[in-house]
């Protein structure tokens, strides 16, 4: 059995920056309540490590960032790497909260692009995932921003002029291109601005270039869109099997036995400790199939 460690993988700079901001906020404000508005990144182990520092999280499936602010009445609120709308920012300030912004610089650039186009009396077709916090924050910037989750959404739109097509930063290169082409078919004069971030792009391209792989293992949280996209990219690129796992504990013998070449990568919000542990275990298993699964590594930030 050969284990291929895919490079690059793991934390992107936006995640590193968000984690450092969270740590600095706690360090520099002793005794002040610190609450993260949503998950800092979509990884339960990173969230747990932040909780160990004393950070509280306001997060509930199906509730918007705007509504979640009702749970925070004092102290400091940190906006996550996914970004928030102007409406959320103003609500936080009106409540007297101290705002710390950990929005990824790539998301900030998208917001600036969208905001400027809307102010120029244009409409934006924003390709993104329904319910994802990055999409929520961007679509809420203006009523001229239209969320496009699939080609079917395009057909529901009326005639629009001065159209800009852009996208969530963590989408699949393959899926995004298909939807952009469909948008251009209906709005051939539209401008396009692909906003898939460099970290997402090069991780997906690394998976696309894999050859003769029997199994792709993606280490990442089930809520992580970029992790899901790595798995789907692998399958669409011809890898016969691809799985998404939280940690080494999710590996099973049926999953890996009789595989000659296994590639391992991870989402951009996945701690390196978790991915390294999976690779180390697989290498031990290749030498001795009776090697026992270890407990999940302790994650530090």
Q: What are 11-40's pLDDT values in tens digits?
A: 999 999 999 999 999 999 999 999 999 999
What burial class does residue 7 get, using C-beta atoms within 10 Å of its C-beta: 0-12 exposed, 13-18 middle, 19+ buried?
exposed
| The pLDDT of residue 119 | 96
Give the containing element (helix H, strand E) for 57.
Answer: strand 56-58
Catalytic residue among 2, 71, 87, 134: 134
Distance CA 269, CA 83 (A): 15
Residues 195-229 have pLDDT tens digits of: 999 999 999 999 999 999 999 999 999 999 899 99
| The pLDDT of residue 62 | 87
- Domains in the chain, ordered, with CATH? 2-11+199-287 (3.40.1010.20), 13-104 (3.40.50.11270), 106-196 (3.40.1010.20)
Would you say the C-alpha torsion 64, 66, 71, 72 has a positive or negative sign?
positive
The residues, ordered by sequence, that sit 6+ positions from 29 with a Cβ below 8 Å of its Cβ are 76
| The pLDDT of residue 301 | 85
| The pLDDT of residue 203 | 96
| The pLDDT of residue 31 | 95
What burial class does residue 14 get, using C-beta atoms within 10 Å of its C-beta: 0-12 exposed, 13-18 middle, 19+ buried?
buried
Q: Which residues of the chain fall short of a pLDDT of 50?
A: none
The residues, ordered by sequence, that sit 6+ positions from 228 with a Cβ below 8 Å of its Cβ are 220, 222, 244
Would you say the C-alpha torsion 125, 139, 63, 175 has a positive or negative sign?
positive
- Give catalytic status of residue 71 as yes or no: no
Three-state DSSP at 146 gives strand
Model confidence, pTM: 0.89
**CA end-to-end span of the chain:** 32
What burial class does residue 250 get, using C-beta atoms within 10 Å of its C-beta: 0-12 exposed, 13-18 middle, 19+ buried?
middle
CA distances (Å), origin 156, targets 20, 54, 140: 42, 46, 19
């Amino acid at each position: 059995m050969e284990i291929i460690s895919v490079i690059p993988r793991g934390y992107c700079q936006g995640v590193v920056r968000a984690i450092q901001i969270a740590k600095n906020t706690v360090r520099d404000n002793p005794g002040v309540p610190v609450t993260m508005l949503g998950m800092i990144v979509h990884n339960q182990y990173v969230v747990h490590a932040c909780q160990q520092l004393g950070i509280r999280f306001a997060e509930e499936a199906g509730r918007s960032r705007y509504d979640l602010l009702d749970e925070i009445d004092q102290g400091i609120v940190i906006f996550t790497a996914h970004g928030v709308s102007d409406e959320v920012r103003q609500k936080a300030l009106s409540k007297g909260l101290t705002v710390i912004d950990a929005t990824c610089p790539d998301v900030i650039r998208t917001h600036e692009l969208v905001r400027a186009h809307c102010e120029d009396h244009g409409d934006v077709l924003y390709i993104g995932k329904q319910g994802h916090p990055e999409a929520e924050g961007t679509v809420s910037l203006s009523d001229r921003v239209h969320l496009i989750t699939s080609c079917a959404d395009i057909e529901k739109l009326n005639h629009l002029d001065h159209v800009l097509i852009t996208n969530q930063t963590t989408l699949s290169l393959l899926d995004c291109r298909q939807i952009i082409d469909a948008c251009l078919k209906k709005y051939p004069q539209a401008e396009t601005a692909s906003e898939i971030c460099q970290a997402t792009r090069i991780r997906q391209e690394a998976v696309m270039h894999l050859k003769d792989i029997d199994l792709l293992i993606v280490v990442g949280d089930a809520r992580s869109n970029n992790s899901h996209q790595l798995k789907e990219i692998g399958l669409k690129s011809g890898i016969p099997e691809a799985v998404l796992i939280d940690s080494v504990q999710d590996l099973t013998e049926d999953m890996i036995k009789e595989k000659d070449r296994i590639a391992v990568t991870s989402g951009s919000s996945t701690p390196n400790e978790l991915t390294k542990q999976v690779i180390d275990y697989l290498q031990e298993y290749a030498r001795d199939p009776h090697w026992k699964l270890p407990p999940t590594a302790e994650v530090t930030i």
